[in-house]
Structure 1
Amino acid sequence: MTSYPAPAAAFSLSAPVRLWDEGFAADPHGRYEALRAQGPVGWGELAPGEPAYIVTDRRAALDVLHDPGTWSHDSREWEATAAADSPILGMLKWRPNPLFTDGAAHMRYRTALVDGLDLVEPHDLRERVHRVVDLLVGRFGPAGSADLVDDFARPLMTLIFNNLFGLPDSESARLNNSLGRLMEGGDEAAAGEVEYGEYVTELVTAKTLQRGDDLTSRLIDHPADLTYEEVVCQVFLTMGAGHEPTANLVANALSRMLGNPAYYSTLTSGSRPVMDAVLEVLRHETPLANYGILYAREALSFHGVWVRTGVPVVVSYGALGYLSEQDSADEPHHPNDASHLSWGAGAHKCPVKQHALLIATEAIERITQWLPDLEPVTPRDQLTWRPGPFVRSLKSLPVRFTPRTPDTTVVAP
């Protein structure tokens, strides 16, 4: 076990910073500042009465993510003390998948997922993205206006993931609605978890009876010999972890682009790649803001704070991103993505980074080819955000544009 410095001062547990209410959604940076004022590790609240240690310092975050001997992803000790109706239980409860396991079990589950996803060729994924974007623009293009969250980013991901996992397009609304409620961690989280769980269970049951050329069937047939429950849990994790953050990545990137007309013109003209906008979001407004969650294997002193077992230790990628934006104000566009931790680090680092980046960049490039004169209806500082501790997610992104019909030729910028 790694040895950390003794606490410099007593750490007050009396006033946790709320990460779950409308105030946090409206001004997360103010809450992050309050956490950082406490030191590298602050005391926060993920839901009413659900405290957590919040890591807001990059060095402390790396210490956690690279030290499996001290920190575990197993949430069962916390779960044993959580209220049965806790709104964050669906996001934190232990399941047999890579997110909540360590060591050999983690590697077994991770290998099954990676092997299945590796068979999704980039050119095939690119074609899937283009098909879905064309379908969606065909729906709202003739109107000359749309909400790029509800009409584009979220249905984009449900259609792509339904296709990858072997479900028809007609099932997309059900996936979208259940995941949205689960991720917010609010009053409807439990209902969202139940509906999403039923959705995944029905999918795995159908594929157990009849395989197809899809990720679900590959998990069932993988040499890891996963049980039915384990397959359900891998699909539950992968669809959720792929859908919600990537949809938010697309929406947040479009929002930042459209909020700066000069910047947007350099992207649509081709003088700057769309990847720049995507990486800027990952650095400074990451869609999965507070979901790097671990637990101390034993109580210990960590960067000035006495950390108890059974209490979530949250690596706040959102707080780290905001701090990065302040530090890099004079150089807002970095040449690569090394300045952020949105993909995590260590053994649990996101295994499908390239898939997510490809989906996001191709989707944004494709819609701006279709609709090069996208114009925001609402100023960026007046947009509203969904509440909840885990994601940074717009409620809506209304835009207008010159109407386009499905038979319009798509021309590259």
Structure 2
Amino acid sequence: MNAPVNATPVPSIASPVRLWEDGFAADPRAYYEILRAQGPVGWAELAPGIFAYVVVDRRAALDLLHDSEIWSHDPRPWEATVAEDSPVLGMMRWRPNTLFADGQSHIRYRQTLVDAFSLVEPHDLRERVHRAADILVGRFGPRGRADLVSDFCRPLMGLIFNNLFGLPDSESDRLTDSMAQMIEGSERSAQAEVEYGRYVLELIAAKMARRGDDLTSWLLDHPLNLTPEEVTWQVFLTLGAGHEPTANLVSNALSRILGNPAYYTTLTSGSRPVMDAVVEVLRFETPLANYGIHYARRPLSFHGVWIQAAVPVVVSYGALAYFAEKESRSTHRTNDASHLSWSAGPHACPVKQHTLLIATEAIERLTQWLPDLSPVLPRERLTWRPGPFHRSLTAFPVQFTARTPDQARIPEQSGDLG
């Protein structure tokens, strides 16, 4: 193996900020302040010995995201310098799909995803969310208490996405468990990547043998003729990108809503839409805190920092959100379209409307079932999962009046989604 090109910090940037340590999860804003003190582009460690530039300035982020001539999404030159057991490889390893492709390959892969998701009708997706929520609340509703992270948000996405891609409910826990561990960038991430890969391979094999009315089958039959391997990696990407960040979006929004009783009342009374709370999270506490990884095609000066080729350049959506919130408090600006949680440029999220529908419908359905949800702990005492990439609650315990399906104000829960 060659000596890692990013094994030591470059002289032009201060000591690396450790985004992998527990302190970052507990107080990311302090770390963003340190990065911002370095300038528009800071220097960080994503894992021990894995260094990256981190963009914490909005203008710099937009310049990066919109310039495909200077920047590439292909990590292979960097990946060749990294140990195979690195905990961040699960999130950064090259695969033949839209996230890691440039140029015409990216356009081809992206088009297949746009076309496949266009076949998912909003009313159908809404029904899938409702049915999944009904199943889960039907399980914990009679207890009068729940952890909304482990009992609702994560398994909800497992049920929804597992079903959208064509497997029965019995397989959804495999998806949920492997995704949760892989995104953390911990020592368990490598094994989680293997488990998740096995899940995807079995899904592809099932659909190769027998098509269905699902996203996997539509990708396999797309007129752009993706190979089975390409479909495998498209599914690998899309399931992961849909599951964990959307679960975190819902849990982050619920913690903000329930942590503010006056806010919660405006939502449950209908005087304020749930979409407001979801957009607030996207603006100020985005669930995918650091990602949008690029690589300079050649060494260059970028916003006053000398960038080496083949070293990750990470967009800190979390830092951008934090500094946007600071600015909004001081200037009273309320531009809901200002956030970059969907990224920007040619690699911007192609299915953001589906994500917004899932998140808002999940919250509305839950609060219809359990209108008196109350957090057990104040929000400042909640804990957050470690990891450089996400903003994700460890747990969110709540209590409520116990309810069984026959007591609900909404139709009785449905059965298996498969």
Interval containing the TM-score (normalised by the shorter chain): over 0.9
Match of 2:343 in 1: 344
Q: State the SS of the aligned residue for 2:35.
A: helix
Match of 1:56 in 2: 56
Task: Give the residue type in structure 2 aligned to 1:397.
Answer: F
Does the 8 A contact of 1:148 with 1:396 survive in 2?
A: yes
Task: Give the residue type in structure 2 aligned to 1:292.
Answer: G
CA distance in 1, matches of 2:206, 2:50: 37
CA distance in 2, matches of 1:333, 1:129: 33
CA distance in 1, matches of 2:56, 2:205: 42
Shift of 1:21: 1.1
Match of 2:4 in 1: none
Shift of 1:329: 1.4
Q: State the SS of the aligned residue for 2:80.
A: helix
Q: State the SS of the aligned residue for 2:405.
A: coil
| Residues 267-278 of structure 1 aligned to structure 2 (within 5 Å) | 267-278=267-278
Shift of 1:273: 0.6
CA distance in 1, matches of 2:366, 2:391: 22
Shift of 1:289: 0.5
Q: State the SS of the aligned residue for 2:146.
A: strand
Task: Give the residue type in structure 2 aligned to 1:141.
Answer: G
CA distance in 1, matches of 2:74, 2:332: 37
Does the 8 A contact of 2:71 with 2:294 survive in 1?
A: yes
Structure 2 unaligned blocks of 5 or more: 1-9, 412-418
Give yes or no for the alignment of 1:33 onto 2:26: no
Shift of 1:15: 1.2
Match of 1:365 in 2: 364
Does the 8 A contact of 1:74 with 1:101 survive in 2?
A: yes
Match of 1:6 in 2: none
CA distance in 2, matches of 1:410, 1:51: 52
CA distance in 1, matches of 2:168, 2:50: 38
Shift of 1:84: 1.2
Q: State the SS of the aligned residue for 2:205.
A: helix
CA distance in 2, matches of 1:364, 1:330: 30
CA distance in 1, matches of 2:103, 2:166: 30
Does the 8 A contact of 1:276 with 1:333 survive in 2?
A: no
CA distance in 1, matches of 2:49, 2:336: 36
Does the 8 A contact of 1:252 with 1:393 survive in 2?
A: yes
Match of 1:123 in 2: 123
Match of 1:95 in 2: 95
Does the 8 A contact of 2:73 with 2:102 survive in 1?
A: yes
Shift of 1:11: 5.3
Residues 323-362 of structure 1: per-residue CA shift (max 9 Å, x gap): 011011157783x631100000000000010000000000
Task: Give the residue type in structure 1 aligned to 2:113.
Answer: L
Say how many residue pairs are matched.
402
Does the 8 A contact of 1:275 with 1:361 survive in 2?
A: yes
Does the 8 A contact of 2:286 with 2:321 survive in 1?
A: yes
Give yes or no for the alignment of 1:134 onto 2:164: no
Relative to structure 1, the CA distance from residue 331 to residue 369 in structure 2 (aligned partners, 3 Å threshold; closer, same or farther) is: farther
Shift of 1:92: 0.5
CA distance in 1, matches of 2:232, 2:21: 31
Does the 8 A contact of 1:133 with 1:156 survive in 2?
A: yes
CA distance in 1, matches of 2:134, 2:209: 33
CA distance in 2, matches of 1:132, 1:68: 39
Shift of 1:224: 1.3
Does the 8 A contact of 1:11 with 1:305 survive in 2?
A: no
Shift of 1:13: 4.1
Match of 1:388 in 2: 387
Give yes or no for the alignment of 1:77 onto 2:77: yes
Does the 8 A contact of 2:375 with 2:399 survive in 1?
A: yes
Root mean square deviation of aligned Cα = 1.3
Using structure 2 for the length normalisation, give the TM-score.
Answer: 0.94
CA distance in 2, matches of 1:330, 1:403: 42
CA distance in 1, matches of 2:247, 2:405: 23
Residues 285-306 of structure 1: per-residue CA shift (max 9 Å, x gap): 0000101100101100001100
| Residues 252-331 of structure 1 aligned to structure 2 (within 5 Å) | 252-329=252-329
Does the 8 A contact of 1:383 with 1:394 survive in 2?
A: yes
Residues 116-143 of structure 1: per-residue CA shift (max 9 Å, x gap): 1100000000011011111111000010
Match of 1:408 in 2: 407
Relative to structure 1, the CA distance from residue 198 to residue 332 in structure 2 (aligned partners, 3 Å threshold; closer, same or farther) is: farther
Using structure 1 for the length normalisation, give the TM-score.
Answer: 0.95
CA distance in 2, matches of 1:255, 1:94: 34
Shift of 1:261: 1.0
Shift of 1:379: 1.1
Does the 8 A contact of 1:78 with 1:310 survive in 2?
A: yes
Seq. identity, %: 71
Shift of 1:409: 3.4
Q: State the SS of the aligned residue for 2:45.
A: strand
Match of 1:195 in 2: 195
Residues 97-156 of structure 1: per-residue CA shift (max 9 Å, x gap): 010001100011111111111000000000110111111110000100000000000000
Does the 8 A contact of 2:13 with 2:38 survive in 1?
A: no
Match of 1:250 in 2: 250
Structure 1 unaligned blocks of 5 or more: 1-9
Give yes or no for the alignment of 1:231 onto 2:231: yes
Task: Give the residue type in structure 1 aligned to 2:314.
Answer: V
CA distance in 1, matches of 2:333, 2:380: 21
CA distance in 1, matches of 2:14, 2:81: 19
CA distance in 1, matches of 2:298, 2:330: 42
Q: State the SS of the aligned residue for 1:248.
A: helix
Residues 179-225 of structure 1: per-residue CA shift (max 9 Å, x gap): 11110010100000000000000100110011011000111111111
